[in-house]
Structure formats: C-alpha cells, structure tokens
C-alpha cells in the first residue's frame, strides 16, 4: 500500500473536514443583515471558500455607506467563531479516513483560509495529534486561491507539493492547491466542481480510501 500513498495529505478545513461552511454563510448573512444587505446566491463567489478579509472587503463594496472593512472583519470573525465553537461536526467519512492515514503513517496538514483561532478550535476538536502542520489565514501573505497556503504546508512538512494530495471542497481551494502543484480530491459538499486531469471528484469522503489518494492523480492516471 505504501507505494501508492502520497508523501502527505493536505486537508482544507471548512466544508471538507468539518461542517462549517454553512456556519460561515450564516455568519456572513448575519453581519450583512446588520448593515442592511440581504445575502443571496449571487454573493456566493465572494463568500464561499474565501478568507474573512476578502468577504469583509466585498461587503464594504456592496454597502459602502456601512462600517469600514476593519469593523466588518471583526464582526465576521466574532460571528463565525461563536458558531464554530458550539457546532464542530466532522463530515461523513472524515474520522475513518484520518484514522486510516494515521495508521499508514502519512503526514497530515490543515490548510485553511480561516483565522488561526478557528483553525485551532477545529484541530483540537478532531485531535491535535493528527495534524503535523496547520496553515491559517495569518500564516501567509496571500491566501486561497493563491498557491501560497499549500506551498507553505508542503515546505513545513519537508515534501514536494507534487507528491501531495490536497482535499478541497470549493473552486477557490482547488485553484489554490492545483496552482501549488498538488493532486486534488474535490468533495462536492459546497459547490459543483468539474472533473479535470489530476483531479478526482467525489460526493463524500466516505467514498474515499487510501488507494484514492495517490500522487498519480496529478497526471490523470
């Protein structure tokens, strides 16, 4: 089995490991409502998969007479953190896959656009010993869809990105991981993600086993 395993598996967090993508939407919807803006489907591209700073800047652009970007960032952070703290729930298949990877001694990382304190909450809930590295929004100059977060995780683990498999659930995250050179397993938990060379698209991590996480995905094998 070891011959088909990646050097490391790099997991997105929100909507991939834990069911927090809906909590993020709820938090943005709450803050948007407070400034008189009704969040809707047309806002998805600037909310789902993005860091707080991006969405705060977006809200300020659509409600320029509202609070400044800094105040919106603080409000989004507080609303999201409150929701995550009380409702951390692993998605189907996550615990079994993490256990299988631990047994196979494959190093794991969390690579997230969420702030450090939220990443730490989720890491601790899942078991901090499972993850050799965590990358949060503050750890890189540019977050997803830039490749920097995945490059940082691979560097911290001492492996080549091309030898890693990233597990993502948004187009923003897939773009980041593939730009870094990772193979990708894309989970359709949040938004449609098309199939592509080097990318395996699944409905749930419950359908993913160790043999599905091979670096050869990157060249479409």
Whether 12 is a known active-site residue: answer: yes
Task: Specify the length of the chain in residues.
Answer: 221
Distance CA 103, CA 98 (A): 9
Tokens of 170: 């948004």
Whether 14 is a known active-site residue: answer: yes
- Cα 219–198–42 angle (5° rounding)? 155
Q: Quote the radius of gyration of the chain (alpha carbons, Å).
A: 17
Partners of 199 in the beta sheet? 184, 196
CB-CB contact of 27 with 76 (8 Å)? yes
Buried b (16+ CB within 10 A) or exposed e, 199-213: bbebeebeebebeeb
Distance CA 70, CA 73 (A): 5
Distance CA 128, CA 77 (A): 22
Long-range CB contacts (< 8 A, 24+ apart) of 114-120?
A: 114/13, 114/14, 114/20, 114/51, 114/52, 114/80, 115/52, 115/77, 115/81, 117/81, 118/80, 118/81, 118/84, 119/13
Residue numbers annotated as active site = 12, 14
């Amino acid at each position: 089995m070891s011959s088909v395993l990646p050097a490391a598996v790099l997991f997105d967090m929100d909507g991939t490991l834990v069911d927090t993508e809906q909590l993020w939407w709820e938090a943005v919807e709450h803050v948007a409502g407070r400034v008189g803006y009704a969040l809707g489907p047309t806002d998805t591209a600037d909310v789902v998969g993005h860091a707080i700073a991006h969405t705060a800047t977006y809200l300020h652009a659509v409600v320029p007479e509202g609070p400044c970007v800094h105040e919106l960032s603080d409000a989004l952070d507080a609303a999201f953190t409150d929701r995550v703290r009380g409702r951390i729930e692993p998605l189907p298949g996550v615990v079994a896959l993490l256990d299988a990877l631990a047994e196979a001694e494959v190093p794991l990382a969390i690579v997230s656009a969420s702030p450090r304190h939220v990443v730490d909450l989720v890491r601790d809930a899942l078991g901090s010993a499972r993850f050799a590295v965590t990358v949060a929004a503050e750890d890189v100059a540019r977050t997803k869809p830039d490749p920097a977060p995945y490059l940082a995780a691979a560097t911290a683990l001492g492996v080549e990105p091309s030898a890693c498999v990233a597990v993502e659930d948004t187009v923003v995250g897939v773009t980041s991981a593939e730009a870094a050179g990772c193979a990708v397993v894309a989970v359709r938990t949040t938004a449609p993600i098309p199939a592509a060379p080097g990318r395996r698209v699944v409905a749930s991590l419950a359908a993913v086993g160790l043999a599905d996480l091979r670096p050869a995905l990157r060249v479409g094998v």
